[in-house]
Amino acid sequence: MKKNRTCAIVEDLLPSYLEELTNDTTKEMIEEHLKECKKCRAYKEELLAEKEEFLLQEEKKSAGFKKRLSRYRYQLLGLFLGMVLTVAAVFGSIIFAIAYYNRETQTEAHTENIQEYREFDDYYGISKLYLFPNATIKDKRGVEIKKYLYDCKGTKLFQDCQILLECEYSKEKYEEEKKRILGISDRETELFVKYTKEEYPYPAAYAMNGYETCYEYVLFLDEEQKMIYVYLQGGIDRRDLLFSEEYLPLEYGQNGMEFEAIGYNIYPIEEPFSEEE
């Protein structure tokens, strides 16, 4: 009976003993009893086996969790990489397309030869250049081209243009040409060329005035019977001007490159230059 009672106590204490939670005296007592009692030794083995099994299960669970976690991580990483690649591909394509377009649509035309007036090679400006007299002026009496400058470069979408024509007229031709200019209007917009004595260094008529940084105007040098026709596009800096600054509108580029965004424009919309009829 005594043995059985000790067995009951040892059985109770064994879990604590295995966790090393018992004090030295108890530990000694348990160990002494285990040496003698086969039944309690067997129970101890049983407990140990259970504990081992439990630890094994825990490890498995945690391994499974880790596995799931790492799979999840890979999925996140994949998703992230996918997004990065997509964005890179989209931006890359856009940049490539712009670069390609710019390369394929480069234009560059420059001449100061008065014989080439009105050829307007590689012109993609937004003005229709109504103010500029037509080609037949070459054949007519009473007109003399004094100076011609044609410089258009950039891409077809964004072109910088500087066109200047200086003509000297006979008295009769001068009046005729002035009348033509002031009578110009656009049928679609019903807008008219404006005459001013204030905004330019000389009395002037303009079709475009700061519209999308474009200027198209004629200066009237009445005493000399001369007209100076100008077209500027692209917000040309004064320093890059290929002709005298004295022919610029008075307010031209006064605030650095801050041009008036929308000024005056007789043309319906900014269409690429189409051939004159």
Question: Binding residues for Zn ion, per CB under 5 A?
Answer: 7, 37, 40
Helix (H) or strand (E) holding 152: strand 143-155
Which C-beta is closer to Zn ion: that of 40 or that of 205? 40
φ, ψ of residue 271 to 5 degrees: the values are: -105, 150
Angle between helices 38-104 and 24-36 (to 10 degrees): 110
Which C-beta is closer to Zn ion: that of 3 or that of 146? 3
Which C-beta is closer to Zn ion: that of 36 or that of 251? 36
SS3 (DSSP) at 264 = strand
Closest contact distance (angstroms) between CB of 9 and Zn ion is 9
Closest contact distance (angstroms) between CB of 30 and Zn ion is 10
- Residue 142's closest CA among 220, 225, 230, 229? 225
Closest contact distance (angstroms) between CB of 46 and Zn ion is 13
Question: What would the two tokens of residue 148 be?
Answer: 């011609």
Closest contact distance (angstroms) between CB of 40 and Zn ion is 3
Which C-beta is closer to Zn ion: that of 41 or that of 146? 41
Which C-beta is closer to Zn ion: that of 6 or that of 185? 6
Closest contact distance (angstroms) between CB of 68 and Zn ion is 45
Angle between helices 2-18 and 24-36 (to 10 degrees): 120
Three-class secondary structure assignment of 187-215: CCCCEECEEECCCCCCCEEEEEEEECCEE
Closest contact distance (angstroms) between CB of 59 and Zn ion is 32
How many whole angstroms separate alpha carbon 152 and alpha carbon 110?
A: 7
Which C-beta is closer to Zn ion: that of 43 or that of 202? 43
Q: What single DSSP character describes residue 224? A: G
